[in-house]
Structure 1
Amino acid sequence: MRDASPSPLDAWLSRLEAAHPVGIDLGLERVAEVARRMGLLDGPVAGRVITVAGTNGKGSTVAMLDALARHHGLSAATYTSPHLLRYNERLCLDGHEADDATLIAGFEAVEAARLDGEPISLTYFEVGTLGALHAIRAFSPEVAILEVGLGGRLDAVNVLDADVAVVTTIARDHAAFLGDDLEGIGREKAGIMRAGRPAVLGSSDLPASVRSTAEALSAPVHALGTAYGVEREAASWRWWCDIGQALRGLPDPGLPLDNAATALMALQLAGVELDETASRQALGSVVLPGRMQWRGAWCLDVGHNPQAAAYVAGRLAERPVAGRTFALLGMLGDKDADGVIEALAPSIDAWVPVTLEGERARSADELATRLEALDQEVVHCDVSPAQGAAWLEAHLAPQDRVLVCGSFFTVGGVLAAWAARAQTETDDRPSEGMT
C-alpha cells in the first residue's frame, strides 16, 4: 500500500498556496526586497540571462532556446510556468527537471530571507520564482532562460536584468490584470527590456508600444521580418538574419517557425556563434508537452486564447482525417471562450465540454450553452477532463481524432489520467516468475 501522506515538496506547495491573501499580486517592491536579502541582485546568476515575455509562444521559444543552447555545448537552466503534471517541470537544469530537494532548498532560502527583518508576504509564484533563481545561481549555467508568468514589467521574473529580452506575440489575455488595450499590454510585456541591451521582437504584428519602449531605452531592436526571419524550402526551412550567417536545411520542430527563428536570434545575441549542424539537431530534438503534442489520434494543446486557438486550428487543417475531429474543451472563467470556440470551429466537427476545478473554473454546462449559441454540435458534457477523455475513448470511431484544449488544467487532467492508468496497468502486471 502506498503512503497517502503528502511528500515534503507537496507540503511546501500547499503552504505556499495559502500564504498570501491573493494568488496574483503584481509588483516588484516585495519580491525585489527579498531578492536583495538573498543576494540574488549582488551579481549575475548565469553567464547570460534571456527573458521571454509574450501572450503566446513563450513556452515553445524557451524550449527551443534551451535545446539550441545545450546542442551548442552550453550549460543551460530554464524557468517556466505553469506546469502540467509536476511542479518540478518549472525548473530544468541542463534539460533535467529539478529534484524535490533542490526546489525545497530554494523555498527554504526564500523563507529565511523574507523573515530576515520586517516579514514580507509573497505569492506562490513569487516564492517559486525566487527559489528557482536561488537554484539557478547555485548551478551557475552559461545561459539562463526565464519565462515571464504574467505581463512583464511587474512580473517576479523581471527582478533580474535580462541580457537579451524577447517579446513573442501580443494578444488579449489576463484582461483582469493587463486590461484590453493592446498598446498597454505591449508596454507591460516590453517592461522586461533594459537600456542598451538587445530586444528581440518575435512577431511582425506587435503593437507600436513594444518598439517604442525599446527605442526609449536605446535597446537595439531585432524584429522578425526585418532583422531576421524564416524562408520555407522544399522539405525544410532557412533562417536568415542581418548580422550573421544564414542556416539552411532546418527541420520543422512541430512548433511555430517564427518562435524557432526568434530563439535562434536571441541565442546569437547572447553571444553564441550558431552552428548549422547543432541547430538542426536541436530543433529536431525539441519536445514540449502540451503544445501540439500528438499521442496517436489525440492532439493536446494548452492554448487558451483566440490567437493560440487559431494557430492550432491551422495546424489541424494541415492534417485532414477521414473521420470526425472532436474537441475536448475545458476553460477557466476569465478566458475568452467565445473567441477560442470561433477560432477552432473551422477544424472541429463536434465538442465535449468538461468542467475544471477551482474558483476560476467554468462549468461544462456553461461551455455547452456557448457552443450551441455559436451553432456548434455538443455530443456530451462531463465533470472533468479525465472523465470526458474516457467517454471519448469509448465512442471514437477508428478514423476519428481528438483535440484536448482550452487550458493547462484540461491537458494536465488528461495526461494525469493516462499516467495513472499506465501505472495501474504496470502495478497489476504479474512480476516475473509469478504464476
Structure 2
Amino acid sequence: MNAMASPTTLDAWLARLEAAHPVGIDLGLERVARVARRMGLLDAPVAGRLVTVAGTNGKGSTVAMLDALAQAHGLSTAAYTSPHLLRYNERLRLSGAEASDSLLIDGFTAVEKARVDGPPISLSYFEVGTLGALWAIARQRPDLAILEVGLGGRLDAVNIVDPDVAVITTVAQDHAAYLGDDLEGIGREKAGILRAGRPTVLGSTTLPKSVREVAAELGARVYALDESFFRQGGEAEGEEEGWRWRGRDPAGQSVEIDALPDPGLPLDNAATALQALALAGVELNATDCRRALAAVRLPGRMQWRGQWCLDVGHNPHAATYVASRLAARPCAGRTIALLGMLVDKDADGVIEALQPAVDAWVPVSLEGDRARRASDLAGRVAARGGTVWHCADAPEAGAAWLATRLSPEDRVLVCGSFFTVAAVLMAWQTAEQTDVNDSAMEGTP
C-alpha cells in the first residue's frame, strides 16, 4: 500500500485496502507485528482480559455468546469478528454496538501512519482491519475483549496479542489451500493461539491429538468439554426445562447452572463460552446467564425469518449441524435448500450432509474469481439423487423465484456461503426500504 492522501469515507478506505496488497490472504506475523510495535499495541494489554477464539466452525457463535454473557454480568466488552454480512462495521462491536464509520477510519488512519513511519510495510486487508480494531479496542480498554481468529491461528494477525484465555471450538477441513487437508496439521495451526501457563478451553470432544500435544508442550492448562466442563439436556427442540452447565472457576471449584435456555446456537459452543468467561475471572450469576442466552442473536446462523432459515455454514461439519437442527424442527411442508457456494469449498460434502433434511434444491451462482456456477451445484445434487427445482444466476434471483412458489407449510434453507446469505438479506433489506419510501411518497401531499 503506497503512501497517499487518506480516504475520507469508510467505503473509500475499504476499496483502497482491497487493492493495496498483492494477495488477499498472506499468513505470517512478522509484518503485522512490526506495525503493531510502531503503534504501541504490544506495549500493554488492550483490555482488562482478552479471550481469543479459533476453530473451523462455531467461532462466531461462541464469540457472540461470550459477548452477551459478559455484558449481562455488567462488563464493558469489545468483540472483533470476520467476515461481515452486510456492513464492515459488524466486525467490531463495542459493548454490543457496531463501531462507527469515524472510529474505523481513525483506526485505519493510525495503521497507515505507523505503516509508513520508517521503511513502508505492506499489509493485507485483514491485517489492516485487525490492527485498526486493536487500536480502537485499546482506546476503549474494555473489561473484556474477544477476538475471533480469521484463518488458522498460529499465523493469523489476531495472534500478535496474548490471550488470557484461548478457545478452540472445532477442527475440521476447510481452507485447504492455506491450511492443508491433514487434521493433525490443522489442529496444530489452530493451537498456535495457546499460551504457556494460561487456560485453554477445548469446545469439542473430537479434536485432533495435535491440539493437546501443543498444550502439553506449552504447559497450558486444558479445560475440555466432557472432561472439565459439561452440558446436559437441551437436545430436543423447545425443551421446557432447559439445559444444565457444569464447569470450573479459576480456582478449580465446581460451578453449576441449570434451567438455561436454548440460544438457537450450538449448545457445545454455549457451554464453551460459559467456561471461557469463568476462566476470565467472571463469577457467573445464573440469572444473568439465562438472560444473556435467551436474548443472544447472531445473523446468518440458523437465523429464521418466517419460513426462511439462513445459515452461512460452508463445510460438511457445519452442514451436518444445520441438518440436525432442521430434523429437530420438522415442518408439515417441503424443505427447499437455496444453495450457493464458492469453488474452493467441499460442495459434495455439504450436499451429502444436508440431503437427509432437504426435499428439493435451488442452486444459485455466485460472483467473483472463486464463484461456483449453479449448473455445477445442480449436477452434484442430481448425482446424489436430489431434486433440482430451478437454477438461478444469483442468490437474490433464486429467492425471488422461490418466494412465489412456496406454500405456507414449506420452508427454505438459504446456505452454503456468507455471500449467499448476504445477497438474500441485502435484497430483502432493499425491498423493505423501497416499500418504506413508496409508503412515504404516497403519504406526501
Equivalence for 2:225: 224
Aligned pair count reads 430
Once the two structures are superposed, the pairs formed by residues 257-268 of structure 1 within 5 Å of their partners are 257-268=267-278
Does the alignment pair 1:111 with 2:102?
no
- In structure 2, C-alpha distance between the alignment counterparts of 1:89 and 1:325, rounded to whole Å: 30
Once the two structures are superposed, the pairs formed by residues 268-347 of structure 1 within 5 Å of their partners are 268-347=278-357
Q: What amino acid is the match of 1:397?
A: S
Does the alignment pair 1:378 with 2:372?
no
Show structure 2 runs of 5+ residues with no match. Answer: 1-6, 235-239
Q: What amino acid is the match of 1:102?
A: L
Q: TM (normalized to structure 1)?
A: 0.97
Q: What amino acid is the match of 2:38?
A: R
- In structure 2, C-alpha distance between the alignment counterparts of 1:126 and 1:187, rounded to whole Å: 22
Equivalence for 2:4: none
Equivalence for 2:58: 57
What do you get for the CA RMSD once the two structures are aligned? 1.1
TM-superposed CA distance for 1:7, in Å, is 7.8
Q: What amino acid is the match of 1:60?
A: S
Once the two structures are superposed, the pairs formed by residues 92-241 of structure 1 within 5 Å of their partners are 92-232=93-233, 235-241=241-247
Which aligned runs of 4 or more in structure 1 are off by greater than 6 angstroms? none
TM-superposed CA distance for 1:432, in Å, is 8.5
TM-superposed CA distance for 1:320, in Å, is 1.1
- In structure 2, C-alpha distance between the alignment counterparts of 1:421 and 1:411, rounded to whole Å: 16
Once the two structures are superposed, the pairs formed by residues 246-261 of structure 1 within 5 Å of their partners are 246-261=256-271
Does the alignment pair 1:401 with 2:411?
yes
Equivalence for 1:3: none
- Identify the range of structure 1 (224-233 vs 17-26) with the bigger mean alpha-carbon deviation: 224-233
TM-superposed CA distance for 1:433, in Å, is 5.8
1:30-68 deviation digits (Å, cap 9, x = unpaired): 000000001000000000110000000000000000000
SS at match of 1:287: coil
Pick the aligned partner of 1:387 from 377, 397, 409.
397
SS at match of 2:263: coil
SS at match of 1:18: helix
Q: What amino acid is the match of 1:278?
A: D
TM-superposed CA distance for 1:235, in Å, is 2.3
Q: What amino acid is the match of 2:388?
A: V
- Identify the range of structure 1 (224-233 vs 300-309) with the bigger mean alpha-carbon deviation: 224-233
Q: What amino acid is the match of 1:205?
A: T
Distance 1:218 1:420, change over 3 A: same
Show structure 1 runs of 5+ residues with no match. Answer: 1-5
- In structure 1, C-alpha distance between the alignment counterparts of 2:70 and 2:444, rounded to whole Å: 48
Identity percentage of aligned residues: 70
SS at match of 1:85: coil
TM-superposed CA distance for 1:244, in Å, is 3.0
- In structure 2, C-alpha distance between the alignment counterparts of 1:7 and 1:119, rounded to whole Å: 21
Distance 1:352 1:432, change over 3 A: closer
Equivalence for 1:360: 370
1:314-368 deviation digits (Å, cap 9, x = unpaired): 0001111111110000000100000000000000001001111110110111111
Equivalence for 1:418: 428
- In structure 2, C-alpha distance between the alignment counterparts of 1:361 and 1:49, rounded to whole Å: 36
